[in-house]
Amino acid sequence: MSAKTTNQRAWLLVAPVVVLVAFNAIIPLMTVVNYSVQETFGDNLFFFEGMKWFEEVLSSERFHASLLRQLQFTFIILAIEVPLGVAIALAMPRKGFWASVCLVLMAMPLLIPWNVVGAMWNIFALPDIGLLGKTLNAMGFDYNFTRQPFSAWATLIAMDVWHWTSLVVLLAYAGLSSIPDAYYQAARIDGASAWAVFRYIQLPKLKHVLTIAVLLRFMDSFNIYTEPFVLTGGGPGNSTTLLSLDLVKIALGQFDLGPAAAMSLIYFLIILLFSWIFYTLMTRGEAK
Amino acid sequence: MARIDLKGLRHSYLPNPTTDADYALKQVDLVWEDGGAYALLGPSGCGKTTLLNIISGLLCPSEGSILFDGVEVNDKSPEERQIAQVFQFPVVYDTMTVYDNLAFPLRNRGVPESQVDARVRAIADMTDLTDMLNNKAAGLTADGKQKISLGRGLVREDVNVVMFDEPLTVIDPHLKWKLRSKLKELHQRVRVTMIYVTHDQTEALTFADNVVVMHEGWVVQQGTPVELFERPGHTFVGHFIGSPGMNLMPCELADGGARVSGHQIDIARKIAQPKAGAKLELGVRPEFVTFVDPDRADGLPVDIVSVRDTGRNRIVETDFAGHKVRALVAEGMPVPERRAAIRFDPTYTQIYADSWIVE
Amino acid sequence: MSTRRTASFKWLVPFVYIVFLMLPIYWLLNMSFKTTNEILGTFSLFPQEFTLENYRAIFTDPTWYNGYINSLIYVCINTLISVTVALPAAYAFSRYRFLGDKHLFFWLLTNRMAPAAVFALPFFQLYSAMNLFDTHIAVALAHCLFNIPLAVWILEGFMSGVPKELDETAYIDGYPFWKFFTKIFLPTIAAGIGVAAFFCFMFSWVELLLAKTLTSVDAKPIAAVMTRTASSSGYELGLLAAAGTLTMVPGAIVIFFVRNYIAKGFALGRV
């Protein structure tokens, strides 16, 4: 790799991106910050409240509960999707016609609008008309995701696994494709077992893409809104009310702008913090 | 340790090969004696890597058989064949230390740790890796990594053959020379069969006692470096080995010698009658073309076209009755100005019929 | 490679996974060909009274088909804007060092993490204040928030794979920068542009929260039409299923064209 040259005029090339993203990111973010420190009673009357909303949100049990649910959800789907995605990528044909077929079919769920994903799983899982619900009940399971929190959670997780595991598969497949044949040949000649091949050849090469996969899945699962909103609406009760759902309920449902804004900022900071931790942990020791 | 026989090997990457053109290996019959240092020489795409992968068991040949000490091993896996192979680009296990990399093939076979340690240290010593044994392999330079690959290839004592697939491609020129002598030295010490694949004639000729030259899926000649030089079995060997390559010109046979554009040329040995209708060519290396007195009766009249100085000697390009003939003139010897005559050394003048030597 | 053959059931893993992926899609497709009565009345794996009525309803009702047109319009505008502005930026990141480059890159990526729910209300106010509410351009601009960082990220990965010598040779040959960039550099990374466009298309197409917040009638996306119709006109499941099935079509077409590049897109991007 040749070294980059220092050139301050490069800012000209970056300027359009900065302007567009800043327009979309900074102005709304400032609006949120503004709300988060004020009280409103309608009629555009605002009063400065300082850190009040932050304190209120941070100490509210409701927030703790949704944050906990969110963390549970994210943890479970990461624990399922990442290993499953890697396993599927390992078992996939490496090239040729069947590899293309797999890629095209697997990418399908990624391109379906998120509310359609929710709606599709809703009619798939409904106990009276859905294939899944009907089958499970016929097999003797008591399954009804609109009434039982456990069924609701299971359905939500199955839906997310359905929706996003393919992303991990695609990434892992890309990582595996970049391993030259010579590595596998050398391993066979060295008498390496299948496990050793995975442990010493495939896993090290997957590290980079898996970092991306974990980060993306973490961010996106923390941001998830539309799919659970359509599938369960956060219910039954509040059992599947994740952070985003709760936030929208407060902001638009109750029009409590102050607490909603404070919560937004806390929420955003949590995502940034976790992403940063993941990133540092996973790339540690990779420095040249 | 084993003697390796290849009998009637043919290989095609296509599922249903029909013509010769479909085969990457057209016909290979070879014997590699136990403990020899062999080179497999040929340009890219001549089938040498295919042949190597067939011997190591990474590929199963379409036809023919591979025998190790007389036992057919066609269906045996690379592990079962007890072979080692070093690839063109370094293959190292990045997450392991240099030590663990070298120990890997031994540990996979359940060798006791005390023996592993002795062996790894011995190999590290041979390949100059002792100082880095505890470093992570990922941090090494390309030639450091390739040394690990070489070391892994040599670490097992029970191998039948060690194969090198253009192992010095990524190595800096000055280290190339060093590693090549190292390999030669290693071979003399361990006396295991080694097969060295390369497209570089210098590498092949300096490493091997016996060189196999391949061209378009055929083995065109097997012999010592001297044999390849003095008596190329195929016109391809003639121009692939040597710099510049062999002079070739169409000819016909007459009076126990050859005739080129009406000039009689002597040939030292008696040659067989070639197949009727074959395309006949006369070949002589520039090293065996000398300038003679233009008035001598057996001199072949030529025009000098150009003279190129290569340092040690000069390459003189001449025009002999419309054929380009190059002569090598040693430093300090005179080169005639314009009108000149040349002579081919009859001992080293060969006749080729359809590119193959006429015995 | 025709290595030694061992009986392997490895193919079962992707096979079972694909079956799992296809089941809900099959059910949606199945329902889209049923009448609402049949959906609610009988349970069957295949439509008993096969009907195209649901699709006919969509193709004849302007609120429905305009939904598709609206979605496609803002998705295409967004893809165009995102890729166009990301190209020079990605070039700058891959070739030059400049004041604050690393921080800027990280800041861009943080926007990929921003929860849409956080921005929904401020976006509504911002775009209303600018008189852009309920226009295609509003949604297209809003989606730039997460698509531009992604496009920069992917393109930077591809561009870093192009040796710098290419640029230098062009300068020596006397090419002006813009000419080199459009005539030589862009064709070299055509695959990367395709991949970036694919991901922009994908994320803009599947997003609903912002698209719904920023539109009411004129630019309403198909996904939003679906939610409204489902709630206002009762439980018309067949119609919903047909509309849902149709939303998969553009994606399927796009995937087919980029199937050989999808995997590469992320592999070459850097964190």
Residues C112 and C149: beta-carbon distance below 8 Å = yes
Cα separation, A190 vs A237, whole angstroms? 58
Report domain extents, chain A.
29-59+258-288, 66-255
Each residue's pLDDT tens digit, A160-210: 999 999 989 988 888 888 788 888 888 888 888 888 899 888 988 888 778
User: Which residue has tokens 């002792």?
Assistant: B130
**Nearest partner of C119 among C42, C210, C44, C50, judged by Cα:** C210
Mean per-residue pLDDT over chain A, rounded: 83
Mean of pLDDT values over B268-290: 86
* Helix-helix angle C136-160:C190-206, to 10 degrees: 140
Each residue's pLDDT tens digit, B141-163: 888 888 888 888 888 888 888 88
Q: Is the pLDDT of residue B104 over 80?
A: yes
Cβ-based contacts of C145 with chain A (< 8 Å): 21, 24-25
Q: Which of residues 122-161 of B touch A (CB under 8 A)?
A: 149, 152
Cβ-based contacts of B77 with chain C (< 8 Å): 4
- pLDDT range class, residue C81, cuts 50, 70, 90: very high
Cβ-based contacts of A98 with chain C (< 8 Å): 11
Q: Is the pLDDT of residue C1 over 70?
A: no
Cα separation, B358 vs B351, whole angstroms? 6
Structure tokens at A80: 């399922």
Cα separation, A17 vs C81, whole angstroms? 10
Q: Is residue B193 part of a domain?
A: yes
* Burial label, B160 (beta-carbon count in 10 A; 0-12, 13-18, 19+): buried
CB distance B91–A186 less than 8 Å?
yes
Residues C162 and C188: beta-carbon distance below 8 Å = yes
Distance to chain C for B14, nearest Cα, Å: 10
Cβ-based contacts of B91 with chain A (< 8 Å): 180, 182-183, 186
- pLDDT range class, residue A219, cuts 50, 70, 90: confident
Residues B305 and B296: beta-carbon distance below 8 Å = no
Name the residue among A188, A196, A201 with its Cβ closest to that of B58. Answer: A188
CB distance B59–C4 less than 8 Å?
no
Q: Which of residues 177-196 of A touch C (CB under 8 A)?
A: 177-178, 181
Q: Is the pLDDT of residue C136 over 50?
A: yes
On whether any CB of chain B is under 8 Å from the CB of A190, the answer is: yes
Cα separation, C120 vs A29, whole angstroms? 11
Q: Scanning every residue of chain A, which has its alpha carbon at the shortest distance from the alpha carbon of C245?
A: A116
Say what the pLDDT of residue A80 is.
95
Cα separation, C110 vs A271, whole angstroms? 9
Say what the pLDDT of residue C19 is.
93
Name the residue among A174, A219, A283 with its Cβ closest to that of C267. Answer: A174
Q: Is the pLDDT of residue A287 over 50?
A: no
Each residue's pLDDT tens digit, B184-202: 888 888 788 899 999 888 8
- The type of residue at B257 is G
Distance to chain C for A259, nearest Cα, Å: 12
Cα separation, A257 vs A35, whole angstroms? 6
Q: Which of B182, B202, B235 is the last residue of a domain?
A: B235
CB distance C3–B59 less than 8 Å?
yes
Say what the pLDDT of residue C3 is.
42
Distance to chain B for C149, nearest Cα, Å: 31
CB distance C27–A222 less than 8 Å?
no
For every residue of chain C, DSSP letters joined together read: ---------TTHHHHHHHHHHHHHHHHHHHHHTS-HHHHHH---SS-SS---HHHHHHHH-HHHHHHHHHHHHHHHHHHHHHHHHHHHHHHHHHHEE-TTHHHHHHHHHHHHH--HHHHHHHHHHHHHHTT-TT-HHHHHHHHHHHHHHHHHHHHHHHHHTS-HHHHHHHHHTT--HHHHIIIIIHHHTHHHHHHHHHHHHHHHHH--HHHHHT-SSTT--HHHHHHHHHHHT---HHHHHHHHHHHHHHHHHHHHHHTTTHHHHHHHS--
Q: Is the pLDDT of residue C232 over 50?
A: no
Mean of pLDDT values over A27-40: 79
Please report, for the domain that includes residue B342, its CATH number: 2.40.50.140
Q: Which of A211-215, B4-8, B247-251, C244-248 has the lowest mean pLDDT?
A: A211-215
Q: Scanning every residue of chain A, which has its alpha carbon at the shortest distance from the alpha carbon of C139?
A: A24
Say what the pLDDT of residue A102 is.
87
Task: Sort strands B300-309 and B313-320 into parallel, antiparallel or unpaired.
Answer: antiparallel
Structure tokens at B58: 């990474």
Please report, for the domain that includes residue B224, its CATH number: 3.40.50.300
Distance to chain B for C6, nearest Cα, Å: 11
Q: Phi and psi for A100 in degrees, rounded to 5?
A: -65, -45
Say what the pLDDT of residue A161 is.
95
CB distance A186–B149 less than 8 Å?
yes
| Exposure letters A196-210 (e unless 16+ CB within 10 A, then b) | bbeebbbebbbebbb
- pLDDT range class, residue A2, cuts 50, 70, 90: very low
Q: Is residue B35 part of a domain?
A: yes
Cα separation, A13 vs C104, whole angstroms? 13
- pLDDT range class, residue C148, cuts 50, 70, 90: very high
Q: Scanning every residue of chain A, which has its alpha carbon at the shortest distance from the alpha carbon of C39?
A: A129
- pLDDT range class, residue A288, cuts 50, 70, 90: very low
Q: Is the pLDDT of residue C5 over 50?
A: no
Mean per-residue pLDDT over chain C, rounded: 82
Cβ-based contacts of C3 with chain B (< 8 Å): 58-60
Residues C154 and C196: beta-carbon distance below 8 Å = yes
| Exposure letters A126-144 (e unless 16+ CB within 10 A, then b) | bbebbbbbbebeeeeeebb
Residue to mutate among B23, B25, B60, with most C CBs inside 10 A, is B60
Q: Is the pLDDT of residue C236 over 80?
A: no
Distances (CA, A) of A255 to A12, A269, C103: 41, 22, 35
Say what the pLDDT of residue A224 is.
86
Report domain extents, chain C.
8-51, 59-268
Structure tokens at A230: 């359509």
Mean of pLDDT values over A239-245: 83
Cα separation, C158 vs C267, whole angstroms? 10
Task: Tell me which CATH code domain A66-255 carries.
Answer: 1.10.3720.10
Cβ-based contacts of B58 with chain C (< 8 Å): 1, 3
* Burial label, A95 (beta-carbon count in 10 A; 0-12, 13-18, 19+): exposed
Q: Which of B235, B257, B289 is the last residue of a domain?
A: B235
User: Which residue has tokens 């470093």?
Assistant: B135
Name the residue among C142, C259, C266 with its Cβ closest to that of A100. Answer: C259
CB distance C247–A113 less than 8 Å?
yes
Domains contained in chain B, number? 2
Percent of residues, chain A, with pLDDT higher than 90: 13
**Nearest partner of C265 among A170, A181, A216, A179, judged by Cα:** A170
Distance to chain B for A81, nearest Cα, Å: 25
Distance to chain B for A173, nearest Cα, Å: 20
Mean of pLDDT values over C36-45: 77
**Stated length of chain A:** 288
Each residue's pLDDT tens digit, A252-286: 666 677 778 888 888 888 888 887 887 777 666 54
Residues B240 and B43: beta-carbon distance below 8 Å = yes
Output the 3-class SS for chain B.
Answer: CCCEEEEEEEECCCCCCCCHHHCCEEEEEEEECCCCEEEEECCCCCCHHHHHHHHHCCCCCCEEEEEECCEECCCCCHHHHCEEEECCCCCCCCCCEHHHHHHHHHHHCCCCHHHHHHHHHHHHHHCCCHHHCCCEHHHCCHHHHHHHHHHHHHCCCCCCEEEEECCCCCCCHHHHHHHHHHHHHHHHHHCCEEEEEECCHHHHHHHCCEEEEEECCEEEEEECHHHHHHCCCEHHHHHHCCCCCCEEEECEEECCEEEECCEEECCCCCCCCCCCCCCEEEEECHHHEEEECCCCCCCEEEEEEEEEECCCEEEEEEEECCEEEEEEEECCCCCCCCEEEEEECHHHCEEEECCEECC
- pLDDT range class, residue C4, cuts 50, 70, 90: very low
**Residue predicted with more confidence, B37 or A48:** B37
Q: Which of B202, B235, B268 is the last residue of a domain?
A: B235
CB distance C3–B60 less than 8 Å?
yes
On whether any CB of chain C is under 8 Å from the CB of A273, the answer is: no
Structure tokens at A192: 């390496």
On whether any CB of chain A is under 8 Å from the CB of B85, the answer is: yes
Name the residue among B79, B91, B93 with its Cβ closest to that of A191. Answer: B79
Distance to chain A for B146, nearest Cα, Å: 13
Q: State the residue range of the domain holding B319.
A: 245-357
Each residue's pLDDT tens digit, A113-167: 888 898 889 888 888 888 888 888 888 888 888 888 888 899 999 999 999 999 8
Cβ-based contacts of A286 with chain C (< 8 Å): none
On whether any CB of chain B is under 8 Å from the CB of C6, the answer is: no
Q: Which of residues 42-81 of A touch C (CB under 8 A)?
A: none
Name the residue among B87, B89, B108 with its Cβ closest to that of A192. Answer: B108
Q: Is the pLDDT of residue C77 over 90?
A: yes
Q: Is residue B240 part of a domain?
A: no
Bridge partners (DSSP) listed for residue B31: B5
Each residue's pLDDT tens digit, B12-42: 888 888 887 888 888 888 888 888 899 999 8
Structure tokens at B220: 């065109």
- pLDDT range class, residue C267, cuts 50, 70, 90: low
Cβ-based contacts of C44 with chain A (< 8 Å): none
On whether any CB of chain A is under 8 Å from the CB of B304, the answer is: no
- Chains with 3 or more CB pairs under 8 A to chain B: A, C
Distance to chain C for B13, nearest Cα, Å: 8
Mean of pLDDT values over B174-182: 80
**Nearest partner of A177 among A198, A200, A205, judged by Cα:** A205
CB distance B58–A193 less than 8 Å?
no
- Chains with 3 or more CB pairs under 8 A to chain A: B, C
Q: Is the pLDDT of residue C17 over 90?
A: yes
Q: Is the pLDDT of residue C18 over 90?
A: yes
Say what the pLDDT of residue C20 is.
93
CB distance A112–C18 less than 8 Å?
no
- pLDDT range class, residue B183, cuts 50, 70, 90: confident
On whether any CB of chain B is under 8 Å from the CB of A188, the answer is: yes
For every residue of C128-182, DSSP letters joined together read: HHTT-TT-HHHHHHHHHHHHHHHHHHHHHHHHHTS-HHHHHHHHHTT--HHHHII
Residues C114 and C144: beta-carbon distance below 8 Å = no
Region label for B167, one of left (φ > 0), alpha (ψ between -120 and 50) or beta (otherwise): alpha
| Exposure letters B115-143 (e unless 16+ CB within 10 A, then b) | ebeebbeebbebbebeebbeebbbebeeb
Each residue's pLDDT tens digit, C171-203: 787 788 888 888 888 888 888 888 888 889 988
Each residue's pLDDT tens digit, B309-344: 887 888 999 998 889 999 988 877 778 777 788 989
CA A56 from chain centre, in angstroms, equals 27
Task: Sort strands B161-165 and B193-198 into parallel, antiparallel or unpaired.
Answer: parallel
Task: Tell me which CATH code domain C59-268 carries.
Answer: 1.10.3720.10
